[in-house]
Amino acid sequence: MRSVGLEDFLAFFFRPQGRIARREYILGAGLLLAVNATLIALLLSRKDWATLASLALISLWLPMLAAQLVMAVKRCHDIGISGVFCLLLLVPVVGIFWLIALAVVEGNAGSNAYGPAPRFRPD
């Protein structure tokens, strides 16, 4: 098995081509949620770190939103639909249900128009 480098990490979060499986989507969304929760906890718990935490939260918010949308595009590709459907995440109430649907709905078993099925590939 090969190690994952920075290029692989950035491609996962910021390159919308290809497909990702449910497990990868859930783990990626969980990582983004953990970073957000950590920054908010620092912001709320430590008065002396409030300025630093709020600056970090503001500066990381847009890249984390972009990463979430890119993962949603890849997940839509895995299901076999256009990545434009990821914009449903931005609609209040509907976005919550779409987020859950992306995590639950099984992707296409074989190749589709967006590439081969995502699989764990040991080297």
Residue 67 lies in a domain: yes
Reference 66, options 46, 89, 40, 49; nearest CA is: 89
Residue 123 has a pLDDT of 46
Provide the token pair at 5. 């480098």
Does the structure show a pLDDT above 70 at 35?
yes
| Residue numbers of the domain that contains 51 | 17-104
Q: Higher confidence at residue 26 or residue 123?
A: 26
Asked if residue 123 belongs to a domain, the reply is no
* Count: domains in the chain: 1
- pLDDT for position 72: 94
CA distances, 1 to each of 4, 18, 23, 123 (Å): 9, 21, 18, 5
Amino acid at 2: R
Give me the pLDDT at residue 25, please: 93
Asked whether residue 9 carries a pLDDT value surpassing 70, the answer given is yes
* pLDDT for the residue numbered 11: 86
Q: Is the pLDDT of residue 110 over 50?
A: yes
Q: What is the mean pLDDT of the chain?
A: 86
Q: Evaluate whether residue 42 is within a structural domain.
A: yes
Segment 50-109, tens digit of pLDDT: 777 778 778 888 899 899 999 999 999 999 999 999 999 889 999 999 989 999 999 988
Give the long-range contacts of residues 63-71, CB within 8 A, separation 24 or more: 64/32, 64/35, 64/36, 66/14, 67/13, 67/14, 67/28, 67/32, 68/29, 68/32, 70/13, 70/14, 70/15, 70/16, 71/12, 71/13, 71/20, 71/25, 71/28, 71/29
Q: Residue with structure tokens 């290809």?
A: 18
* Structural domain includes residue 26: yes
Q: Considering Cα of 93, then 97, then 69, then 53, what sign does the dihedral take?
A: positive
How high is the pLDDT of residue 80? 92
